[in-house]
Amino acid sequence: MPTVGLKRYLNLFRNTMNPFEYLIDKVRDRGRTLHFVTRPNKLGFDVPESLYLVFKEIFMSDVYNINSLVGILPDDPLVIDIGANAGFFDILLLSKIKNAQIYAYEPMASNVDRMRSVASSNFKFGESVIIKPFAVTGTPCEMLRIYAQDTDKNQVVASSVEGFNADNVKELLIPAVSLSEIMEKMPKLSIDLLKMDCEGSEYDIIFNTPAELIQRIETMLIEVHNIDEQRNIETVSRYLGTLGYDTVSVPINGFCYAMEAYKRK
């Protein structure tokens, strides 16, 4: 379950070398761009105000249960990150497992630019994270319609689902690639980790990718959004169960869940 209350600050101290950067902003210099350095492996990165929530979810609320995750991954995991946003999950994972190889897919240009900025100032991130500026689908298509906020700032609620968020008033056509195509080009057959945070596209990806490809994935971390009777946490859990996965999910908010799926041995 995501960490709440004062325990979030313990995670901040565990995951960053300069936690007081956040605390100073909270009590005095509110709204400025923050700069953090991770621990134990050092990676520096900026957090603008538009990404405070994402930073807090990953580095403080620990929605991806990072210490438990590190305990089950190999020393050199092959990771696919769908909906990488500004790369905060990839930064955190590399700070714990320095030999991770990550393929990061993100459709929004402002978020891709921020990841590339991290890569330019951190050799290890640039070496380990392959940034792919694409939307990801289950059903193959060349371009995907994305509904996004009308802003040049980093954003977190862009979605292929019309009406997903009331602020998504701008339509974009984004180059797309299917998970099947991605997996066909991976350097090894087994994928150690698939992380997905793609604002409703998880259903197309999971249900329309051939089952035999999904079953090549050892562990999945999926942010699942309850949308309707066909697209909800129960239907995803049941389907992954039929493919041989044990799932655990906890609520993040009223309609969103953090799901962990582990391939049965």
Total residue count of the chain as it appears in this document = 265
pLDDT at residue 27 greater than cutoff 80: no
The answer as to whether 2 is a domain residue is no
Band the pLDDT of 252: cuts 50, 70, 90. confident
- Vertex 101, ends 95 and 106: CA angle to 5°? 90
Amino acid at 196: M
The answer as to whether 143 is a domain residue is yes
The answer as to whether 91 is a domain residue is yes
The answer as to whether 1 is a domain residue is no
For residues 144 and 137, is the Cβ–Cβ distance under 8 A?
yes
Query: Between these two residues, 253 and 208, which has the higher pLDDT value?
Result: 208
pLDDT in the model for residue 160: 87
Token pair belonging to 97: 């497992």
Band the pLDDT of 29: cuts 50, 70, 90. low
pLDDT at residue 254 greater than cutoff 90: no
CB atoms within 10 A of CB 23: 12
pTM comes to 0.94
pLDDT at residue 234 greater than cutoff 70: yes
The answer as to whether 113 is a domain residue is yes
Band the pLDDT of 214: cuts 50, 70, 90. very high
Strand 44-47, strand 34-37: pairing: antiparallel
CA distance 203 to 195: 14
Is residue 185 packed enough to be buried (19+ CB in 10 Å), middle (13-18) or exposed (0-12)?
exposed
pLDDT in the model for residue 159: 87
The answer as to whether 33 is a domain residue is yes
Owning domain of residue 31: 7-263
The answer as to whether 15 is a domain residue is yes
pLDDT in the model for residue 1: 66
> In whole angstroms, how far apart are CA 248 and each of 71, 142, 155, 166, 196?
17, 33, 28, 29, 15
CA distance 251 to 265: 26
Please state the domain count of the chain.
Answer: 1
For residues 134 and 107, is the Cβ–Cβ distance under 8 A?
yes
CA distance 185 to 187: 6
119 φ, ψ (degrees, to nearest 5): -65, -40
Q: Name the least confident of 38-52, 96-110, 243-257.
A: 243-257
CATH number for position 256: 3.40.50.150
Please write the tens of the pLDDT for every residue from 169-208.
Answer: 899 999 999 999 999 999 999 999 999 999 889 999 999 9
The answer as to whether 183 is a domain residue is yes
Please write the tens of the pLDDT for every residue from 110-122.
Answer: 999 999 999 999 9
pLDDT at residue 108 greater than cutoff 90: yes
